[in-house]
Amino acid sequence: MLVQRLEQYQKETKQRKRLDETRRKVEVLRKQLKQRREQMPMGKGTYGTTKGRPPKKKMTAKQKTLPTSLQKKIMASKKKK
């Protein structure tokens, strides 16, 4: 009788330990997900279909017809912003 109870308690403690481990893992994953969301905001302004990125700075068709030296200056000013 006592041996059976002891075995039952041992099984219960093992299950509790597993639950505690999984809870810790879930908490860690939640923190990581929260950090990712803070780093990369969700919303409009995308390169393609991915969310949360600022629009890519490109040259217009009119700017492409300018001399290369002016094009470089324009792109340099866009990179600074």
Residue 6: predicted pLDDT: 83
Domain that includes residue 29, residue range: 1-40
Residue 11 lies in a domain: yes
Residue-wise pLDDT for 23-35, tens only, equals 888 888 888 888 8
Within-domain flag for 8: yes
The answer to whether position 10 is within a domain reads: yes
pLDDT at 67 (0 to 100): 92
Q: 0.85 cut: is pTM over it?
A: no
Q: How far apart are CA 79 and CA 59, in angstroms?
A: 12
> For the chain, what is the mean pLDDT?
79
Residue 62 lies in a domain: no
Domain for residue 15, yes or no?
Answer: yes
What does the pLDDT average to over 47-65? 72
Which pLDDT value is given to residue 45?
A: 52
Q: In the chain, how many domains are there?
A: 1
Cβ-defined contacts of 49-53 (< 8 Å, 24+): none
